[in-house]
Amino acid sequence: MLIGEKFLFVELQKTGSTHIKQQLQALFGGVNEGKHNKPTPEMLASGRAVIGSIRDPWSWYLSLWSYGCQRRGSLYNRLVDPEAWKRSLLLIEQRQRLHGDLPVAQLTPVRAHDVWYADVGSAQGFREWLRAVCLPEMRLTVQMGFNKSRVGQFGCGLMTYRYLRLFTSGVDNLSDEVATVDDFRRWVDTHFEPTQMIRLHRVAEDLIALGETLGQPLSPAQCAALREAPPTNRSSRPHPFAHYYDQQCLDWVAEREWLLIERHGYERPVLAG
């Protein structure tokens, strides 16, 4: 989190937040306090504008997987840990007995280590990983608390869960009154804390607009520098987006991250050919 005189910047993982924070600090000042952490109630009551970061969910998943291919990140650690899989495997086996629709041999921590994360150039590794991360039975393993939250009841995936845990309060304890998808949409609208979101694909323009909101408009030279600034900590992959995704993978993400797509106006990518 970056705490400025007039704002709090709250960082959602794998949304270009390192680059955004650097630009924010250079333009408007502020002090770092942790990373990917929630503001306290006292901070929220301070009158500062709450700023969040976001990116399209398809590139988010690809970035998260690429990070794991470096043997880094909490999700990587859980997916290669047999202990973390124990309860998920029971659910996977139960579903397979009832419906016979899961490639059980591809759903193991050994497979995660030896195939999913073995090669950042592997479309097969990414697609198997994405399938696993999107399975409801895997919520126990992919994110602490995800399986207990009613977010999954509304068909939401890992990115939406992390987004709501960071940018709202109470998502892990939704009341029974939030019974329908429309109830859920209204709950999110009411409880969402950021007043402005910095979108990765429009970082410069959103930061320029933020300057106006904060009463600190940027000079033409500052605007030009923002538009020309190279990204920071970009994931290193040997192939373009379309190498990793096929239509089924696009569908999985669209189905799971429907709320983010709705709220932020993202469009489904089109694969050439």
Task: Examine the pLDDT at 273 and tell me if it is beyond 80.
Answer: no
CA–CA dist 20, 35 (Å, integer): 13
Task: Examine the pLDDT at 234 and tell me if it is beyond 80.
Answer: no
Summarize pLDDT for 156-178 with one digit per residue, the tens: 999 999 999 999 998 988 988 89
Task: Examine the pLDDT at 82 and tell me if it is beyond 90.
Answer: yes
Task: Examine the pLDDT at 8 and tell me if it is beyond 90.
Answer: yes
Q: What are the residue boundaries of the structural domains of the chain, listed by start?
A: 2-56+192-228, 57-181+236-264
Mean per-residue pLDDT of the chain:
94
* pTM (predicted TM-score): 0.94
Query: DSSP letters of 61-99?
Result: HHHHHHHHTTT-SHHHHHHT-HHHHHHHHHHHHHHHHHH
